[in-house]
Amino acid sequence: MQLVCPAGNLPALQAAVDAGANAVYAGFRDQTNARAFPGLNFSDEELRCGIRYAHAKGAKVYLALNTYPDSVRLAQWHAAVDKAAEFGCDAIIAAEMGVLDYAARTHPDLARHLSVQGSATTEPALRYAFERFGITRAVLPRVLSIQQVERLCERSPVAIEVFAFGSLCIMVEGRCQLSSYVTGASPNRHGVCSPAKFVRWDEFDDGSRTARLNNVLIDRFQPEEPAGYPTVCKGRFDVGGEIFHALEEPTSLNTLELLPRLAQAGVVALKIEGRQRGVAYVGSVTRTWRAALDRYQANPESWALQPDWQRTLSGHAEGHQTTLGPYHRAWH
């Protein structure tokens, strides 16, 4: 299986490649990708440099063009597709049909992956994207059980990639309304769940902190409590007089224990979430998954989950806790 790792900037790309990533995914410094934070992503020259670096070490570069343009700005996404082809990207990762259609017509030799933002969870949906836009791979949304993933792998006309580690999304991928309700800015039109211009942190004399999004109180943190970036879904709310994570607790998906089953199902690529995370995260998580994959590929029958792998991954997880999420549930 291919290990696909995040590259929020050039140092992260280099760290991922050096740590054993088979491929990295990156975005331009604009709203064509779903991690449009200030200070992240790539200029044209940085992406060219990153592609040269990755290719020199045998790794691939996928360009994330996974947001939804409106008709007025569609030309910006078309121009990004043109650059991906010109610069030598190995594939684009796209969700919007107009972007996929333009890429298929204009650059037929540029591989097209259906983004997780495309929310394809059935064989007919995958077949439509394959027949209409010539996709070669689809990234499945993080809402399916392991049994559903296995069934899709059996029936899909294209290769299947799944998220293996990182942040979860409680919405159907690409269809979040929570942040846009608070900020008025659509995550899929502005490239980020909580645009930085709406975020405000306040620190008090006792060391406690509050996080607000467009002046709405999202969370309050005690002096020694880890504080994550404020998103509505992971905030704490007063519900019936009790304050708790009413929608989703801060936790990260970790499917490492499912690695043999995912491999046997025919999953071709494991994706690490986290283009907004730092170089240390990218390097450490990539090395851990590389070690696990190499050991499995060397001897599948004797593969066993190692405690030190889990400790490392838990240290990089949101809230320092991990979950199998929808991969494991009692109902299907």
Looking at the fold, whether 222 and 134 belong to one and the same domain comes out as no
Looking at the fold, whether 77 and 223 belong to one and the same domain comes out as no
What is residue 175's predicted lDDT score, i.e. its pLDDT? 67
Looking at the fold, whether 309 and 222 belong to one and the same domain comes out as no
Looking at the fold, whether 129 and 263 belong to one and the same domain comes out as yes
Looking at the fold, whether 225 and 146 belong to one and the same domain comes out as no
pLDDT of 246 above 60:
yes
Looking at the fold, whether 75 and 143 belong to one and the same domain comes out as yes
Answer yes or no: is 49 a known binding residue: no
The total number of structural domains in the chain stands at 2
pLDDT of 189 above 90:
no
Looking at the fold, whether 119 and 215 belong to one and the same domain comes out as no
In angstroms, rounded to a whole number, what is the distance separating the alpha carbons of residues 134 and 143?
24
Looking at the fold, whether 279 and 263 belong to one and the same domain comes out as yes
The verdict on residue 115 lying in a domain is yes
Which of 202, 222, 244 finishes a domain? Answer: 244
Looking at the fold, whether 71 and 154 belong to one and the same domain comes out as yes
In angstroms, rounded to a whole number, what is the distance separating the alpha carbons of residues 107 and 284?
36
Read off the CATH number of the domain in which 17 is found.
3.20.20.70
CB 37 within 8 A of CB 196: yes
What is residue 257's predicted lDDT score, i.e. its pLDDT? 95
Structural domain boundaries, residue 230: 178-244
The verdict on residue 145 lying in a domain is yes
The verdict on residue 18 lying in a domain is yes
Q: What is the mean pLDDT of residues 295-321?
A: 92
The verdict on residue 108 lying in a domain is yes
Looking at the fold, whether 48 and 135 belong to one and the same domain comes out as yes
Query: For 226, what's the count of Cα atoms within 13 Å in the CB-facing half-sphere?
Result: 11
Q: What is the mean pLDDT of residues 121-143?
A: 96
The verdict on residue 81 lying in a domain is yes
The residue that leads in pLDDT, 135 or 326, is 135
Relative to beta strand 269-272, strand 2-6 is: parallel
Looking at the fold, whether 161 and 185 belong to one and the same domain comes out as no
- Confidence (pTM): 0.92
Which of 188, 215, 244 finishes a domain? Answer: 244
Looking at the fold, whether 212 and 69 belong to one and the same domain comes out as no
φ, ψ dihedrals at 111, nearest 5°: -60, 145
The verdict on residue 223 lying in a domain is yes
Query: How many beta carbons lie within 10 A of that of residue 268, not counting itself?
Result: 16
Q: pLDDT grade, residue 319 (50/70/90)?
A: confident
In angstroms, rounded to a whole number, what is the distance separating the alpha carbons of residues 272 and 286?
8
Answer yes or no: is 5 a known binding residue: no
Relative to beta strand 159-167, strand 252-254 is: antiparallel
The verdict on residue 173 lying in a domain is no
The verdict on residue 272 lying in a domain is yes
Q: Which residues of 37-64 are buried (b: 16+ CB within 10 A; e: fewer)?
A: beebbbeeebbeebbebbeeeebbbbbb
Relative to beta strand 60-65, strand 23-26 is: parallel
Q: What is the mean pLDDT of residues 275-288?
A: 96
pLDDT of 174 above 70:
no
Which of 244, 279, 295 finishes a domain? Answer: 244
Which residues pair with residue 114 across a beta bridge? 94, 138
Which pair of structure tokens corresponds to residue 136?
């070669």
- Look at 199-208, 279-288, 296-305, 311-320 and tell me which has the smallest mean pLDDT: 311-320
Answer yes or no: is 153 a known binding residue: no
